[in-house]
Structure 1
């Protein structure tokens, strides 16, 4: 059987915590005790593992990733898994393991999370925006627990957070449409309560306004986030006395509905009606024609979130509240300059 830290402690006549402190060069341990521990290590041919070395530091070298993990979550929130992959790669490169967890379906989810923090399961936590709750900021800040919230938690929050700039992505969309010569541009988004959709809409409206264009209210459409509703909203837009020349779709699902409506109206894309969508995943590869996309590398968002948390572990007083990962225009066949 392999020699354990308990064997060393027994041989040296000390506690396992003392052995761990000696391994981590604590100055509070007397020279005589250190000598006995090192003699026991040499006699037993003990090789300390990572857990033993980190024990005295109070470090688990484990990071929690808190996210919604309900059935069919991959379809409702596909980008979360790209973020998770970026996080895991970065943590692995720095000697950390990753523990994926969800909140239980109970009235007090903060009690579960408090238990994980108090019991020293992990050195820090990354919280995906899909799993946030009202008491989260207070719980993390009062416990001074290293954390990064992936997604803007809202104005005035004391939490550390990192997010993509969806407002800037909306501005990129407006700029591209105007560069193509489209002045009458509509926007089809998700529900009014959807945070990302609202950010992208506001960025688009602001970008158009900066160039002297005001988007009429009837050009802004909200949906129940389904392809079918996006198709209905597109038909209504095309039935206006002055229909839009181009349509911005807040996500790929809505873009599928827009394309369906344009085909039912027998409109040629992009010569008669153009469209643009955000994110190159999950459905952009099956949309015909290939859509023009304002894309954000969410894998890189995961990388950046993990790197920020590692910095936070080294400097607990560090306040991280930042946008990262710039949008990128990927030109497709659904928009083209007007000749």
Structure 2
């Protein structure tokens, strides 16, 4: 099979971290009052911070908002939308990162809530499309049959489209908590991230490359950077914008999001091989079933562990100049990417 044409990336086999560094430069100027965050787990400020306790009220707020946005309905498309977003819960990682970024730049969580909910809808829409290549009825997502397994691929695809439209509507509508000029910036960032050079392009390249015998490092990197890594990046950027962050702060959040999101995606690939369906809440081994190109297939388990640690350390350096107390959730989240997953991965 011929190699797939890869947009904007050379096929050089570069370091898996190199591209994220090249394309996401942050300002090098020193802050007026340098403030370093300790990044070692269990040290200083982080040892008494409970990410679960921090997240709990935020998740409850997001869930209440999502319930009001997608009410119970007899319409099959709306049923599929609600099933995808609300059914099965979900970790709400994108909303949490958005709110944490808003607070990191000194904003209030109420300012970020509308955008946080919109991000969850966009993420749910992407998961619907991500599940479609595995069309068996046993495909699971969040511990339940996937949307396409319950409603059929036609309704699932249209629910995905409708969720994206509703997300933009929720951001653009008049809202006391969200300033219009900031909402416009967020809409711009989301539209750019969701296009053919963003998530759509990444999903297409993943689908088009499935089952190919040749695994190109540049291709794997492109796909991963335009999946969960991009969702993390846009979540952090959106939170920084609505919180009133400076251009420099938003760029630091962008770089942090890209690094920690890529790390999270790699760990997801590792867990896909190392855990059972019951433990994951989604179909285990699906990557191998559909022949996805992953970091795990390319570099192996041990090198992937090293890459994840490198990425998390880099992510924490990007936010080392934020106020330590305000940035605690982001520091803790980066540590969580490694600790909660590596303890359960064999190999």
TM-score (norm 1): 0.23
Structure scoring higher RCO (CA < 8 A, sep ≥ 6) equals 2
Larger of the two Rg values belongs to structure: 1
If each structure's helix is expressed as a fraction of its own residues, which one has the higher value?
A: 2
If each structure's strand is expressed as a fraction of its own residues, which one has the higher value?
A: 1
